[in-house]
Structure 1
């Protein structure tokens, strides 16, 4: 069972931003910028392109809805999207508020936020959903 499946099952806490029957969006605990989050299907499939077409399309539509709220809630030029897929064997999409290309550089040191700061970010995004 992946760490994301444990989050979905409620075995590991997460800063959840949005949830449906099939998908979950939650803040990355090692973010590149404030509001960096992950969107995952609840069905555990290792690789994004191994998802069935319906789940893949649904994931992208769910991500689009979350990204629209993020763009309203957080100061940024746009929401960057990336799929790397090496960190956790569970398909996921990174949504990252960006002002420039450097904001999506995964070699940069990750930011640290308090639980209160993480929760404030969740509240800002949820208010726009």
Structure 2
């Protein structure tokens, strides 16, 4: 059975995509910790971080780095944070989010009632900054 993320990737469930290539996609989470919180998800249904092959994992991190740089520009954050937990969906995903301090980087701060308009605005803001940090991926 396809995971929730595969269903989003395949267009069965709507997603606010900010990145797509032949190996992964990135879309805004519906429960952001900070504005612009994105999930980088491989097309391949890998259950967790330790199951991913090294090439795929390296690709996901490079994409996360680019998205993080765009988040810093778009939201004025001093840092981009990368979190990997994966308990909520059994499909590897990297959480990339603009960060101001370590104390805010907890899933307890996730906003589950975020209005669609606010999520749409964050996605558009991030998309506008991605071309400035998006050189071609290697290989």
Normalized against structure 2, the TM-score is what?
A: 0.87
Match of 2:90 in 1: 89
- SS state at 1:90 partner: coil
- SS state at 2:109 partner: coil
Q: Deviations over 1:99-125 (max 9, x none)?
A: 111221112352533222111111111
Aligned 8 A contact 2:71 2:77 in 1: no
Cα RMSD between the aligned structures? Answer: 1.3
Change in Cα spacing, 1:80 to 1:30, as seen in structure 2 (3 Å) is: same
Match of 1:45 in 2: 46
Match of 2:57 in 1: 56
Cα distance between partner residues in 2 of 1:112 and 1:102: 21
Q: Deviations over 1:5-63 (max 9, x none)?
A: 10011100011111111111111101111111111111111011211111111111111
Cα distance between partner residues in 1 of 2:21 and 2:40: 11
Cα distance between partner residues in 1 of 2:11 and 2:94: 20
Q: Deviations over 1:62-119 (max 9, x none)?
A: 1111111111101212111110111110001101211111221112352533222111
Aligned 8 A contact 1:23 1:39 in 2: yes
- SS state at 2:7 partner: helix
Cα distance between partner residues in 1 of 2:110 and 2:43: 29
Gaps of 5+ in 2: 131-139
Number of equivalences: 129
